[in-house]
Structure 1
Amino acid sequence: MTELPDENQAAELRNKVVDQLKEDGTIVSPGVEAAMRKVPRHLAVPEASLGDAYSTYNAVVTQEDEHGNHTSSVSAPQVQAMQLEQADVSPGDNVLEIGTNGPNAAYLAELAGSTGQVTTVDIDPAPAARSERFLADTGYTGVNVVVADAEDGYAKHAPYDAIVVTAGAWDIPPAWIEQLKDDGRLVVPLRINGLSRSYRFVRQDDHLVSTSAHVCGFVPVQGAGSHAQQAMQLPGDRGVTLHFDEGPPADPSLLNGVLDTERAETWTGVTVASQEPIGTLQMYLAAHVPTYCSMSIDRELATGRIGPTGLGFSMVAIDGANFGYIVVRRDTEKKTAEFGFHAFGPDGEAFAERLADIVRDWGRDYRRGPSPLIAVYPAGTPDDRITGDRIIDKEHSRISISWPVA
């Protein structure tokens, strides 16, 4: 017989989570605070302890595939609060949630109120059933739970004031824009060049414009909208694997023999403190270096020609026969780190300097500035209708990135 949770202890832990999220600035609105103090999220994950259910910054994984990859979870309270604040749901709003497990739909129902409507959709019947049970048990019987591939949104209840996506997306399908009201909000963890951010977009005619972005991580979208990274071994080192989110270089054979060239090394003079956020640097590099990708290294198989990078992210750039990656050197006494580059290839030294100049530009003009402005246009939109420093073409959309100067 399963032991029933201590509801007083659950309420105490729930309030503690909300207090933490108010203190760290994640929760700023009274509506989100009230919703998160009320909804008993632990009832959605009876297999988890109360401590795990109310871990402020950790998700509860509810489903894995045969390879151990997470396919469904109840997101961490911090992530849910972050997206709820981005969605800015008001009483009377019509809201679509894509990806479900229960608690987030209940939060949205609290925010939309008795005059609003919430529909929550999942491609997988198991989390949908979990959500339906939770919502019934907690009294949120007005929420519509639907099993469907949300690549096509859910036209039955459109148009929506807000669409909240709780799975990592690589692209924005047309239905998500078309089913939004004018000035409606789309909150979505969108992956651009392998970097995920939870964006708040506002619809403006036929396109979307971002108004906020937060670093995040989500279980990837399944079904028609799924998108796997492509991987290839770096020629000359079977211990180094390159991961491409937007596709590999046009002619990978140009890299044959690249590691036989002399390694060039250059330093940027740009240093960061140990706790300084570098999310804007990651995105700036992803938007400005040629053929951006990431790198993983199997130390047992690698030749040792590459690294160490000394970074939590291993940014790689490829330009024809030239290959470069970011490195750091740390000053433990000052608790700082300086960025640099290693590069190989016929123009390795010049390539390393080109990459270093991108970091120097970031350090001079954008380091303490706002996140980039992201706009999403339908595929086929002419260049002269798109503004931005960089355009990335995906299957359904053209994404422009603009960098406001700090």
Structure 2
Amino acid sequence: MKRTCYVFLLLSVSAVSFAGNYKSFKVSVYTRAYEVEKMKDLHWLDFTWAIISDQLKVDKIYLETHRDLLIVPDATLEQAKKFFLDRGIEVGGGITYTINEANSFETFCYSDPEHRKMVREIAEHTAKHFDDFILDDFFFTSCKSDIEIKAKGAQSWTEYRTKLMTEAAQELVIKPAKKINPKVKIIIKYPNWYDHFQGLGFNLNTGPQIFDAVWSGTETRDPATAQHLQNYLSYNIIRYFDNLRPGHNLGGWVDAGGSNLGMDRYAEQLWLTMFAKAPEIALFAYNQLIGVALSPEMHRTPWQGQGTSFDYDEMMKPVQTAHGEVVPTTLARVAGVTFDKIDGFVHKLGKPVGIKSYKPFHSLGDDFLQNYFGMIGLPMDMYPNFQPTNR
């Protein structure tokens, strides 16, 4: 069995306290438009929410208004909001700007007048209902339509797209949304593939400055798959994005990817996010928390029973809730046990520090190098700008 040691150099004890279910962080659930649309059926909503809430303590839920050209109606959004607010759950919004995610993540074409109109209307629709919303990590463009090719001209695709998406953020999302709701906070969630952002228009130089806040994709899933991301990224990306605009990185984000390796891998991603001192973690997504059924054949790793941090057998024990005894059935219980365990001590840890490493904006080469250093026990602290004091 491989044993990986994560070294975190921690300083002063934090005095931050939270009023939610946990001492120093919030747990939220992100809900795709597909599931939000189903919330028009209160029976379905009540039944599925019980599956999650009986196994996991949730502080906030994000209700998506659009994905793949599905726009959730006003009445459904308001009904879902009321359902959660009545149960003491904070509610925010979300948008995924995709035309068809299943079609190779088909995005909007942000120089196309018709697409620009749709993007703006979706932002306005969302701002009507929520005082904060997250852009899921598809606010980029891979479009190469005739309109885009003409607009690009002699520029490279990277030059064109980084400028275009900065303009689109300001003119199609931020300004229209704040005109509808001046107090709305708009958060951009950046995915885990930061070394290649610029090619599709993500601009870490401008984005964190023009949006109210950022969110970090801490999902590293299965390192053997196409992305080949190292586990340490779940920690390192929080620190890197926090250094882009200190104090404005609001949380991490993990999905069920990698749980095929065993629920230890899922729990590890959550813990690494928390060790980086993320103030909130969003679980993607509602459908996975109700739909990923626990299976010992797949999810119980061979080294269980040897005193590992994540104890599958302990996690599977029935729990007492307001509705009586509940037998763990889905991914939600894994998250619940994982958060309960780290909540006992992570609030006592200070601010993470590490070896300062310079990664310029839009730089290429040596993909995710710092995460490999992290995997051999070197704590990393990435910065976009070099300063003489960063030694």
TM score, norm. by length of structure 2: 0.31
- Structure having greater relative contact order (Cα 8 Å, sep ≥ 6): 2
Between structures 1 and 2, the one with greater helix share = 2
Normalized against structure 1, the TM-score is what? 0.31
